[in-house]
Structure 1
Amino acid sequence: MAPPIDLEAIKQMSWTITTTYTPSTIIIYALALGVKGTDLAHCFEAHPDFSAPPTFGAIPVIAIMGPVTRSMPSFLPNFQPHNHVHGEHYLELKSPFPACGTTTLTTTAKILDIVDRRSGVTVAVGITTVDASTGLQICYNEWTSFIKSVPGAGLSTKPNPRGAATATHPAPKRAPDAVLSHKTSPEQSALYRAASGDLNPLHIDPAVAKRGGFPGPLLTGTCTLGMGVLHVIGAFAHGDFGRFKNVKVRLSGPVFPGEVVRTEMWREDGGRRVVYRQVVGEGKAERVVISQAAVELNAGDSVGESRL
């Protein structure tokens, strides 16, 4: 019998990494999400409004989840890497990403919660990223993984409430207030893989994808997340990245390069919150790839036309 998971001891663990980026990193990441090359505010470093997409904060998160995941066999009985799935994500932007020169970030991760899900456990990792030169906090993420076949006896069967980070947002039973679509390119998975640093071969190698039970390579979940945030900001914030406050999603299914991703959006709370879901396919072939999702927006102008 596997030893019980000592959650309190695990919460004392932490991981820290340092990463750097430049305006070129921002541009490549934006293009990998599907931002148009003609959108100079997000693709030209000399534009006066040049800025990083809010989900640029996923890059240091992806980097630190490598050492976190490699440590999991030391505290999760029966852990196997192939049973590890990115299930939910929360990202809150605290301050804009510096967008000139070379910026160094320090990112620290800690285990927040482990929940018994009967067939395995979910592990919530809290991740804080700061500007290494100033100490200013840039963003906070929570990456929640579902890990099959890990025994959770003795653990809670419900997550510890953490406000917006653990909220769920079912899609309303009415027509969406806005719908935007993005046709992924055949190269998008490979491009996002390189831009984000997520070098899992599942996102590029057909043989690895087939061994995992998929018909071919699939997009990284944070790529689908990033596309959805772009759609929400485009539809409800005039494309202004500065309006973004936070996003919470459940990653419900894969997207394959070449598929059209449709983001269906509903305004709530006077437009300060946008509930959304992302789907691919039509009719009986439709499948949800992002669910229980919402973006909170900072105060600003009323809804306008998308410029994305």
Structure 2
Amino acid sequence: MPPTTINLPAIKQLSWSITTSYTVSQIISYNLALGAPGLQLPLTFEGHPNFHALPTYGAVHDIAVMGLVHRAMADFLPNFESHNHVHGEHFLQLKKAYPIPRGTEQVRLKTTAKVVDIVDRRSGVLVCVDIETVEEESGDVICLNEWGGFVMKIPTAGANKAQVQRGQRTTLYPTPTRAPDKVVSHNTSPEQAALYRAASGDLNALHIDPETAKAAGFPAPILAGTCTLGMGVRHVVDAFAGGDVRRFKSVKCRLSKPVFAALGDEVRTEMWKEQGGRRILYRQVVGEGSQEKVVVGMAVVELSGTAVDGKL
């Protein structure tokens, strides 16, 4: 029988796990899907001594486990309809550099998700899902994520009236009023959207099929939010860490509006340096003047003065 209210204590007892794997080819495809130049060999050539995955690669593993969470939402949220669930906020903390497989070998990961908070947003709720990804062979934690999903048009009885504050996971930063310290632009394309679907495993038709997008109320297919997030973090790391992904610690952002790669949207990442360059506030926008819209906002990347553990 479908639930009539939100039983948060019971929901917090639930968990979902999935085992995934990746190869060198998938890392290369992911890096290219975020706009990495083909001749930037540390991102595109597995034989380069500094070959590595871009720091937001951990969000790919979220997509797989969030598929399980999404399918289960009808069991714990009243009046749940799948089309009313959108990715609204994201936090990612990198604990260890992504292991690089040799040749055609695969790295196997176990990713586990748990609901840690459900917050009343009047027209629906924010569902906060904690996600941990562990390398199976070593048992090392690779990354921690928190996926914030807005679920609209459901009764909010039983949800928390205010969000439980959990440090970096819940801290959003207002956009500074001064001019940005750096701005980087990227022209999206239908090919990028298609490549990201393949690289990430996010095969939602909304990201590729015009008819599906039209039925959802969009003028064209929308770019996956994790792709827009990944591009923004790449721009920050390139601009303020010289491309050294070992300095990346974490990112937190709000996904505000869709990007239409099928229409060739140009995404501008506007960045502000704080704390001597260890904290970078940023937002991503498309359009100019009265047509400007924020697609990722209230965002922050934390950088360290030293490299994270692990091989590049």
- Report TM bin, short chain: over 0.9
Unaligned runs of 5+ in 2: 308-312
Shift of 1:155: 2.4
Alpha-carbon contact 2:208-2:222 (below 8 Å) kept: yes
* 1:287 partnered with 2:288: no
Please list the CA deviations of residues 192-213 of structure 1 after superposition, one character each: whole Å capped at 9, or x if unmatched.
1111111110000000101111
Could you tell me how far apart the structure 1 residues matched to 2:190 and 2:11 are?
41
The TM-score with structure 2 as length reference comes to: 0.95
Partner of 1:259: 265
Could you tell me how far apart the structure 1 residues matched to 2:287 and 2:206 are?
22
Could you tell me how far apart the structure 2 residues matched to 1:21 and 1:245 are?
22
Could you tell me how far apart the structure 2 residues matched to 1:263 and 1:162 are?
27
Partner of 1:306: none
In the TM superposition, 1:93-132 aligns within 5 A as: 93-101=94-102, 102-132=106-136
Could you tell me how far apart the structure 2 residues matched to 1:154 and 1:19 are?
34
Q: Which runs of 4 or more aligned residues in structure 1 lie more than 4 Å from their structure 2 counterparts after TM superposition? A: none
Alpha-carbon contact 1:125-1:142 (below 8 Å) kept: yes
Unaligned runs of 5+ in 1: 302-308
Q: Give secondary structure in 2 for the equivalent of 1:187.
A: helix
Q: Give secondary structure in 1 for the equivalent of 2:126.
A: strand
2:224 to 220, 223, 246: 220
Shift of 1:2: 6.0
* 1:273 partnered with 2:273: no
* 1:205 partnered with 2:209: yes
Could you tell me how far apart the structure 1 residues matched to 2:278 and 2:95 are?
17
Q: What is the letter of the counterpart of residue 23 of structure 2?
A: T
Partner of 1:177: 181
The TM-score with structure 1 as length reference comes to: 0.96
Alpha-carbon contact 1:45-1:100 (below 8 Å) kept: no
Q: What is the letter of the counterpart of residue 130 of structure 2?
A: G
Partner of 1:133: 137
Report % sequence identity: 60
Alpha-carbon contact 1:2-1:151 (below 8 Å) kept: no
Could you tell me how far apart the structure 2 residues matched to 1:44 and 1:174 are?
39
Please list the CA deviations of residues 106-158 of structure 1 after superposition, one character each: whole Å capped at 9, or x if unmatched.
00000000011111111000000010000000000000100011211232221
Q: Give secondary structure in 2 for the equivalent of 1:270.
A: helix
Q: Give secondary structure in 1 for the equivalent of 2:33.
A: helix
Alpha-carbon contact 1:219-1:255 (below 8 Å) kept: yes
Aligned length: 301
Please list the CA deviations of residues 38-85 of structure 1 after superposition, one character each: whole Å capped at 9, or x if unmatched.
100011001000011011001110000001110111100100001001
